[in-house]
Copies of this chain bind each other. A is one copy, B any other.
Amino acid sequence: MKNYKITAEYDGTKYNGWQRQGNTKNTIAERFENVLSRMCGKDVEVFASGRTDAGVHADEQTANFKCDTLMTEPEIQDYLNKYLPEDIRVTSIEEVDMRFHSRLNAVSKTYEYTIATEKPDVFIRKYVYFANRKPDIEKMKKAAMLITGKHDFRGFSSLGRTKKSTVRTVNFIEIEEEEGLIKIRINGDGFLYNMVRIIAGTLYDIGCDALDESVIEEIFEEKIRERAGVTLPASGLRLVKVYY
């Protein structure tokens, strides 16, 4: 038995996210497991670095699976790319230690949220969120510094009740604006459900003067999701890279 780590990119537009949840159909993991199970001649389970939600894209999602095969890594990659749909592509593959686990060994992840403040380039329209208000980028950057660090992010998530820890560390948030596109890049050791989209929505609302930056301290203290900004649409979000 061997353990393989893959990196894959996908256009998440038409999928219900990465992971099978109960009876959820049409997931990206399902596509991988169907092809890999056929390749290996038995059921194969694929473990990703984490779920991406419905409609969210990835430049470099990572995942691992165990399989007994005589195929070389390039052969496995070719097989996957041949049978996976055209909106999912494996960009690299390597054999790793049997103990490697994509989620448990991940140290940090970078996500990027893209807001278009003008009608976007038609060729990227499905990968951005088109919002018509133009925010003050400096205000967004200042507020982002208040979010950076180790905090209880429960108020920045759409989680229901949970006993699990909701403390996470955001290592950095970078915001840049170029040609009508605002990119919010956020790196952290882990992210709660909808956390990036709510942080992006809160920063955007602060930049547009719809919220005051003092709200951030309040959300950390009171942990009430309703105080934060909107959950921006999935289309603008992509998982950029997972670090090990």
Contacts and interface: CB of A to CB of B under 8 A. Distances in A.
Interface stretch (A116-124, A133-141, A157-165, A185-193): A116-124
A11 interface: yes
A129 interface: no
A118 B89 CA distance: 10
Contacts of A204: none
Contact of A89 (B9, B57, B82, B119): B119
Contact of A122 (B82, B87, B125, B130): B87
A81 interface: yes
A86 interface: yes
A13 to B, nearest CB: 10
Interface residues of A, number: 20
Contacts of A9: 121-123
Nearest to A238: B123
A153 interface: no
A56 to B, nearest CB: 13
Contacts of A32: none
Q: Which 8 A-B pairs have the closest CB atoms?
A: A81-B119, A11-B122, A87-B122, A86-B125, A89-B122, A89-B119, A9-B122, A10-B122
Interface of A: 9-11, 57, 81-82, 86-89, 118-125, 127, 130
